[in-house]
Amino acid sequence: MPVSKEYIIKRTFSLIGVVFGATIITFIITRVVPTRPELLWAGPHATLEQIERAREILHLNDPIYVQLGYYLRDLLTGNWGVSWRTKSPVLPGILSALPATLELIIVAFIIAMAIGIPLGIVAALKRGTVIDHVLRVVTVIGASAPVFWLALISQLIFSSWLGVLPSAKRINELLVIETGFHPITGFYLIDSLIQGNIPAFTDALRHIILPAIVLSFYPMCLSARMTRALMIEVLNEWHVRSALAWGLPKRIVLYKYALKNVIAPVVASLGLSFGYTIIGAFMVELVFVWPGIGMYAAMSLLSFDYPAVVGCVLFIAIFYTLINTVVDIIHAIIDPRVKL
């Protein structure tokens, strides 16, 4: 078994520490910023008595450490607070926006792996040629370009100029009414297939292609560069060179011996890039008006809805730490040399 109990215990305490630290830092920052959250809670036409009552409800008259104590107490009971903007619980609001973000990220990672790994293999096999140099330049530019800039440029080209892909949202609202499409799992591609609604599936696919491609640029370029570097290293190993010298077909040597040693580190690197992809998803969601966690967090931040902001940071911290743990375990299962 590549995963020990000590590792699980260690990562569990690490998860608690990361989440606790992120929660405290975010909570303090949101309270230090000079705003008037009681006005948001009480409404634009509130009286002085209603505003003062809102300050008492939100514990704004108490010191910061007392407010933090109230928040942590509620957090331990599963209460993530109430949104000042929508007057609804924070956790259900985050969970309702989660499927949109997850669907976008999953499709982006599928695109990244489907394109990035083959590009890296081609660059390694064509090492030193024009193809290799072009791919290296393209991957460096793609990994360095700001995701919001790529989103705006792609939206301008494919939506405004060419008109081949939608520029915003997840699905056409008029088509939803015409076909009777309704969410089940929150993943529109899966839900439309479950309902046998091909027009809704086609429209949801057209809406997700452009933001997913933009979001996939960084992990795709990262996987391509890592695959190239690792493939070149593996191809120079003695067991690979010996297999080729014995006359084994190059395709078998490439995919059975070389690629097997490359996949595990590439998967680990993609897992580590997941955090950056979440940040990129927030930017992409704002540009494409994608109703995910990024849009929810942005609207909360712009309206000074700090319970929702703290809840988003808390959720992302938990999610990111769990993803890294899962990636480490998968890496250990794929590569027997890794012991956790």
CATH number at residue 243: 1.10.3720
User: Are 188 and 321 members of one domain?
Assistant: no
User: Are 80 and 99 members of one domain?
Assistant: no
**Neighbouring-strand partners of residue 317:** none
User: Are 174 and 281 members of one domain?
Assistant: yes
Average pLDDT over residues 279-308: 88
Distance CA 282, CA 250 (A): 43
User: Are 279 and 309 members of one domain?
Assistant: no
User: Which pair of structure tokens corresponds to residue 223?
Assistant: 């996987």
User: Are 164 and 269 members of one domain?
Assistant: yes
Distance CA 183, CA 192 (A): 8
User: Are 77 and 161 members of one domain?
Assistant: no
User: Are 53 and 95 members of one domain?
Assistant: no
The per-residue pLDDT for 201 is: 95
User: Are 166 and 285 members of one domain?
Assistant: yes
Residue-number span of the structural domain to which 5 is assigned: 1-85+303-340
User: Are 159 and 112 members of one domain?
Assistant: yes
User: Are 287 and 312 members of one domain?
Assistant: no
The C-alpha angle 255, 257, 262, rounded to 5 degrees, equals: 80
| Local confidence band at 127 (pLDDT 50, 70, 90 cut-offs) | confident
User: Are 99 and 43 members of one domain?
Assistant: no
Residue with tokens 């997840």: 170
| Local confidence band at 340 (pLDDT 50, 70, 90 cut-offs) | low
Would you say residue 1 has pLDDT above 60?
no
Give, in order, the Cα–Cα distances in Å from 149 to each of 106, 200, 210: 21, 29, 13
| Local confidence band at 239 (pLDDT 50, 70, 90 cut-offs) | confident
298 in a domain, yes or no?
A: no
User: Which pair of structure tokens corresponds to residue 177?
Assistant: 């009414």
| Local confidence band at 196 (pLDDT 50, 70, 90 cut-offs) | very high
Q: What is the pTM of this model?
A: 0.86
User: Are 3 and 74 members of one domain?
Assistant: yes
89 phi and psi angles, rounded to 5 deg: -60, 145
The model's pLDDT over 7-58, given as tens digits with 9 standing for 90+, comes to: 778 878 888 888 888 888 888 888 777 677 777 777 777 788 888 888 888 8
